[in-house]
């Protein structure tokens, strides 16, 4: 392919990268460096579910059905404490980079209601 076509090519969507990460073999006793990465807008993430502790119940919010919870990592693969985000699936389909702080789901819930008219049933 020409350099021009490479410059215009879009990076894979978060949905495509998350699907690839979910189908990858889980890392049982590896490090975050070994997990499949999700790259978007110059930032690196891994699926939040891949880095939860063994005693964690995991996330259970209704907004999970409308996006992904991601944990921020450095380019070298180290977790960045406090950089957990939620990415909107509906915005990703429109190629919009929309992330919200995942420390609570109120921002994600408000976004879904205002932007997509989706509310918790």
Banded pLDDT at 3 (limits 50, 70, 90): low
Banded pLDDT at 41 (limits 50, 70, 90): confident
Phi-psi region at 17: left, alpha or beta (left = phi > 0; alpha = psi -120 to 50): alpha
Q: What is the pLDDT of residues 69-119, one digit of tens each?
A: 999 999 888 889 889 999 999 999 998 888 999 989 999 999 999 999 999
Structural contact between residues 65 and 78, judged by C-beta atoms closer than 8 angstroms = no
Residue that wins the pLDDT comparison between 92 and 32: 92
Measured CA to CA, the distance from residue 7 to residue 4 in angstroms comes to 5
**Residue matched to tokens 């410059």:** 7
Q: What is the pLDDT of residue 32?
A: 81
**pLDDT, average across residues 43-50:** 90
Q: What is the pLDDT of residue 121?
A: 75
Q: What is the pLDDT of residues 49-69, one digit of tens each?
A: 888 765 566 678 899 999 999
Measured CA to CA, the distance from residue 23 to residue 57 in angstroms comes to 21
């Amino acid at each position: 392919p020409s350099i021009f076509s490479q410059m215009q090519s879009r990076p894979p969507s978060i949905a495509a990268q998350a699907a690839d990460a979910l189908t990858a073999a889980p890392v049982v006793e590896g490090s975050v460096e070994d997990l499949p990465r999700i790259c978007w807008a110059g930032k690196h993430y891994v699926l939040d579910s891949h880095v939860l502790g063994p005693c964690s119940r995991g996330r259970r919010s209704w907004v999970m059905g409308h996006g992904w919870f991601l944990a921020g990592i450095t380019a070298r693969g180290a977790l960045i404490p406090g950089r957990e985000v939620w990415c909107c699936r509906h915005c990703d389909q429109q190629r919009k980079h929309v992330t919200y702080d995942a420390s609570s789901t109120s921002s994600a819930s408000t976004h879904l209601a205002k932007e997509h008219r989706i509310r918790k049933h």
